[in-house]
Amino acid sequence: MSKFENVTVLKEASVYFDGKVTSRTVIFPDGSKKTLGIMMPGEYEFGTDMAENMEMQSGDVEVLLPGETEWKAIPNGSSFDVPANSKFGIKVHAIADYCCSYIPA
């Protein structure tokens, strides 16, 4: 199984949407950050500060990316990019396990 070594993990969870979305923060030796998260079924809108790469590990989701008008399915094992300071929509049809990488400007 894929793993992250020599990292720092924050003990407390981040909790959004009444717990339907939760994540754990992982800090890498170079200072970069990823979150490992779970999204329960539902529809959500997220805003970004930094640019993000969202990798879907399992689940069934569609996303509406900034500037797009069509929802797009994201197969497991693939990812999508979201620009900094933007918003995206996500429909979670089956519980999703994701890894979000924050991309420094």
Which residues are near a copy of itself by CB under 8 A?
1-13, 15, 18-19, 22, 24, 26-27, 36, 38, 40, 57-58, 95, 97, 99
For a copy of itself, the closer of residues 65 and 100 by Cβ is 100
| In the complex, least distance from residue 99 CB atom to a copy of itself, rounded to whole angstroms | 6
Q: Output phi, psi for 18, to 5 deg.
A: 55, 30
List CB contacts of 9: < 8 A, sequence separation 6 or more.
Answer: 24, 25, 26, 27
| In the complex, least distance from residue 1 CB atom to a copy of itself, rounded to whole angstroms | 6
Tokens encoding 54: 């969202």
| In the complex, least distance from residue 18 CB atom to a copy of itself, rounded to whole angstroms | 7
For a copy of itself, the closer of residues 56 and 65 by Cβ is 56
CA–CA gap between residue 39 and residue 59 (Å, rounded): 9
